[in-house]
Structure 1
């Protein structure tokens, strides 16, 4: 077995590999850029080597710098994680030439299956059903438009060396095909150092289901069942689960055997994933093969009990797989929510900054009989940079059934505290409560169909609002009692805390009375309903664990004037608790209107201006591209919301902008 391995990656996947290596008694070497000098993976590793400036193109994907780090440290093997160099045949070949083991497949297998164009041709030759498309190289945007028209819209424009949603666009017409080709090509060059593009038919109403394969160097190729990855946004997976709620045993077996046959045909070893599109009749079509560990591998580990990183290391060291296909059973259900540094209320645009608060839920067994796991690469006080993928953590839960795994995820999300940046916790929490998701009747169009205007926050039902109102009233009473004690006179004559309150949540007002005793409070509503509230919450705590009406309730609670900012189940609420007279007066207060920014194009996220597509004095039409801003390896094309005349362009190409910086002004 290896004594020392280098992890050619960063963030949560580097931390994930280090944990398994440490468990196996293997020393680890981290690599880091200027932006990651204080990163968690650097702190966790036994050694760390500096490799250059923040952009990945100048550090993490520069092969010579990784090879030099290997020479400096004497690492015997390299785990590439995912992204970066994980599917670069020339990197695996360079390691082989050095006599260093690549913890992944052999370079010919990467060349054959890691390239999406080649892998699809091989799948077709092997008789595997594939999605219609054009597998040749496409030279320019004009050719891309022509080919797209021949295939028939909608089409998927994809980077041949891509992964993780990078270099991928859906085009519904010629204009989108032209824009999509150029953006995909630029993103592919920036993220992978390979700008080749191919185009295939976009299958509407599909489910994205993938098979995890594992193969050793002794001829054993097995499948570890499937993962459902249909909850996607911009082709980037957001929520995954294992197994799929859609497959039956016969389809699972057929997909697994086909995935293994494909892997064996190219001499594949190590962990890999064969991805399929599955239609409503359970017909499946080969999509691509990822010749690396997948981001969502933890859900497979939770239902099989197998550490995939450990098996990758053992296979690379020449060991046989210690189990057979018949040993690989499905135990329970697992969910994964990807926590991203992006603001769901601003169309999921990237967010950067310092994590002023980062408190994940406790990992391990729960009181309900489930399991919580959080794979992360950040820490409280750490910085989220604009240079890398916006994923902060992967929150995973396990339960005996799908319903129990979902409930474990709901509780875990409610107890996950993140402050300082925009993040998508409210969105994934809302999905967990969505009836369509709960039913399992989902497709890759779920987010586009269910949130066509973007995410505006979860809408809680009357019963949930009433429970929150009761909790807020009880918490307010605790806060008021503390305040009177602090401000009380020396003879202890304290202001009496009232019983009658009005709790306002948005447009909804709850008139109520609070009667308290040593065990808690009973909240009586004007309609005759009452709810018993008990908790050990004290003012200043940001997380409140309560029992309301005999059921548990977890609230993230921050104090605001006359109330709380409450976050629960994807909802972000201002909850005001006022005396009846104060509530009456509050309704007479004028509403503060937001400033008018309609004459400006504002930068929606921190990023780099890579293109200005218009000139001063130019008339623009609704939907016309105005500027392109790059953030976290993704290009974002900003378009005109209405017809207008460009008065002044204030930003320059190459300039780094903050959120709401003015890019241009209109007449």
Structure 2
């Protein structure tokens, strides 16, 4: 077995590989850029080598720098993780020439499957069902429009060397095809150094289901069941699960056998994934093969009990697979929620900054798992992918796994940046998701105007009102003690209160005792509240009538800011008289920004598409801002005239910085 391996990656996947390597008794080497000098993967590894500036094209994807780190440390093998150089044929060949093992497939398989055009041709030859499309290279936007029209809208425009949702656009008409071609081409060149584009038919009402394969160097190749990845935003997976709630045993077997046939056609070894689009009739079509470890591999590990990273290392070491297809089963159900540094209240735009608080839920072996590459106090950089953790849960049934995920998300504390935890919680409570009735259009269809937070049901609001009232009583007693107004640890705190949340006022009474409090409502209902919460604690775990309620709590004037299950609530707890006076207070009016184009996220201005004096129409592209390797086109909200442009292409902008003004 290898004595030392180098991980040519960063973040959570580097940490993930290091964990398995340590379990196997293998020393590890991390590489890091300027931005990652204090990163978690650097701390975890036995050795670390600096490889250059923050931009990935000056550090993590520079083959010569990785090779130099290998020579410096004497690493015998390299695990590439995912992204960066993981599917780069030249990197695999450089390692082979150096006599260093690549913990991944042969260079030939990477070349064949890494190019989406070639892979579709090979898939068809191997008897794998494929989506109709144009597999040849496309010269320019004009040709892209013609091809898209011939195929028939909608079409998917994709980077041939792409992955992770980058370099992908859906076009529904000629204008979108022209613009999508240019954006995909630019993103592909920036992210992969390869701007080749192809176009295929976009299957409506699709589900994204993929098959995990695992092969060795001795001709054995297995399929390890499927993962459902239909909850996506901008072709970027958000929630995955294994198995799929949609497949039956026959379809699962057919997809698995086709995946293995394709893998064998290119002499595949190591872990890999064959992705399919599946329609409502369970017809499936080959999408692409990822010749690497997938981001969502933990859900497969949770239902099979197989450590995929360990198997990749053993295969690279020349060992035979220790299991057969008959040994592969499905044990229970697993979910993965990707925690992204993206603000769902601002259109999921990237967010950067310091993690002033980062407290994942406690991990429980085989039940709750959090793969992460960050820590409290660390920085979220604008240079890399916005995913900062993968929260996974397991249950004997899908319902049990969802319940476990709800509880884990409720307990996950993240402060200092915008993040998508509220959205993940909202999905877990969405009836379509609970029923397993989702397609890749789920997010766009269910939140067409963007995510503005969840609306909680009456029963949950009542529980929160009872909890807030009891918490307010505790805070009042604490405040009196600190101020010295309390004698003999006794103080009469009022019994009657008004609780206002989500636009609803509830009059309550509080009867406290040493074990907790009983909160009564005007309709005669009474709820028992028990908790050890004290003022200053940001996570309140409360029992309301014996039911666990996890609330993220911040103090505000006359109450609390409470976040729960995707809702962000201002909960005011006042005396009846205070409530009467508060009702008379005028609401603060937000500043008028209708004549300004503000930068919605920290990023780099790629281009300005208009000039001062131009009359712009609703929906017209005004400028392009790049953040976390993704291009974002900012458009006019209404017809107007540009009066001032405040920035130039190449400028780095902060959130809400003014880009241009309108008359």
Measured against the shorter chain, the TM-score band is over 0.9
> Is the 1:488–1:495 contact (alpha carbons within 8 Å) kept by the matching residues of 2?
no
| In structure 2, distance between residues paired with 1:127 and 1:29 | 41
Q: Deviations over 1:374-428 (max 9, x none)?
A: 0000000000000000001000000110000000000000000000000000000
Query: Greater shift after overlay, 328-337 or 136-145?
Result: 136-145
SS at match of 2:35: helix
1:587 and 2:583 matched? yes
> Is the 2:481–2:489 contact (alpha carbons within 8 Å) kept by the matching residues of 1?
no
Query: Greater shift after overlay, 492-501 or 69-78?
Result: 492-501
SS at match of 1:364: coil
Q: Which residue matches 2:602?
A: 606
Q: Deviations over 1:524-576 (max 9, x none)?
A: 00011111110111111111111102211110111111101101111110100
Tell me how many residue pairs correspond in the alignment: 663
2:659 pairs with one of 650, 657, 663? 663
Q: Which residue matches 1:498?
A: 494
Q: Which residue matches 1:63?
A: 63
Q: Which residue matches 1:296?
A: 296
SS at match of 2:198: strand
Residue 113 of structure 1, CA deviation? 1.1
| In structure 1, distance between residues paired with 2:402 and 2:424 | 11
| In structure 2, distance between residues paired with 1:665 and 1:458 | 33
Q: Which residue matches 1:96?
A: 96
| In structure 2, distance between residues paired with 1:494 and 1:664 | 60
| In structure 1, distance between residues paired with 2:353 and 2:137 | 39
1:415 and 2:411 matched? yes
Q: Which residue matches 1:444?
A: 440
SS at match of 1:29: strand
1:347 and 2:347 matched? yes
Relative distance call for 1:382 and 1:532 in structure 2 (3 A) is same
| In structure 1, distance between residues paired with 2:463 and 2:623 | 46
Q: Which residue matches 2:23?
A: 23
Q: What are the ranges of 5 or more consecutive residues in structure 1 without an aligned counterpart?
A: none
1:626 and 2:622 matched? yes
Q: Within 5 A, what are the aligned runs for 1:251-266? A: 251-266=251-266
Q: Within 5 A, what are the aligned runs for 1:335-414? A: 335-365=335-365, 371-414=367-410
> Is the 1:485–1:494 contact (alpha carbons within 8 Å) kept by the matching residues of 2?
no
Residue 126 of structure 1, CA deviation? 2.0
1:550 and 2:551 matched? no
Relative distance call for 1:480 and 1:248 in structure 2 (3 A) is same
TM-score, normalisation: structure 1: 0.98
Residue 488 of structure 1, CA deviation? 2.8
Q: What are the ranges of 5 or more consecutive residues in structure 2 without an aligned counterpart?
A: none
Q: Which residue matches 2:520?
A: 524
Relative distance call for 1:490 and 1:162 in structure 2 (3 A) is closer
> Is the 1:51–1:60 contact (alpha carbons within 8 Å) kept by the matching residues of 2?
yes
> Is the 1:410–1:432 contact (alpha carbons within 8 Å) kept by the matching residues of 2?
yes
Relative distance call for 1:490 and 1:300 in structure 2 (3 A) is closer
1:487 and 2:489 matched? no
Q: Which residue matches 1:157?
A: 157
Residue 127 of structure 1, CA deviation? 2.4
1:537 pairs with one of 533, 539, 542? 533
SS at match of 1:160: strand
Residue 279 of structure 1, CA deviation? 1.0
Q: Which residue matches 1:83?
A: 83
> Is the 1:488–1:494 contact (alpha carbons within 8 Å) kept by the matching residues of 2?
no
> Is the 1:484–1:494 contact (alpha carbons within 8 Å) kept by the matching residues of 2?
no
> Is the 1:562–1:577 contact (alpha carbons within 8 Å) kept by the matching residues of 2?
yes
> Is the 1:239–1:335 contact (alpha carbons within 8 Å) kept by the matching residues of 2?
yes
1:464 pairs with one of 452, 460, 463? 460
| In structure 1, distance between residues paired with 2:224 and 2:309 | 14
> Is the 1:343–1:422 contact (alpha carbons within 8 Å) kept by the matching residues of 2?
yes
Moved over 6 A (4+): none
| In structure 1, distance between residues paired with 2:627 and 2:149 | 31
Residue 489 of structure 1, CA deviation? 4.2
SS at match of 1:167: strand
Q: Which residue matches 2:207?
A: 207
Q: Deviations over 1:487-544 (max 9, x none)?
A: 2348659652101000000310010101111111111000111111101111111111
Relative distance call for 1:490 and 1:572 in structure 2 (3 A) is closer
SS at match of 2:136: coil
| In structure 2, distance between residues paired with 1:423 and 1:362 | 19
Q: Deviations over 1:192-237 (max 9, x none)?
A: 1111111111100011000000000111000110000000000000
Q: CA RMSD in A?
A: 1.0
> Is the 1:10–1:31 contact (alpha carbons within 8 Å) kept by the matching residues of 2?
yes
| In structure 2, distance between residues paired with 1:135 and 1:510 | 62
| In structure 2, distance between residues paired with 1:49 and 1:621 | 51
TM-score, normalisation: structure 2: 0.99
> Is the 2:242–2:335 contact (alpha carbons within 8 Å) kept by the matching residues of 1?
yes
Relative distance call for 1:362 and 1:490 in structure 2 (3 A) is closer
| In structure 1, distance between residues paired with 2:55 and 2:175 | 31
Q: Which residue matches 1:140?
A: 140
| In structure 2, distance between residues paired with 1:91 and 1:596 | 53
SS at match of 1:212: strand
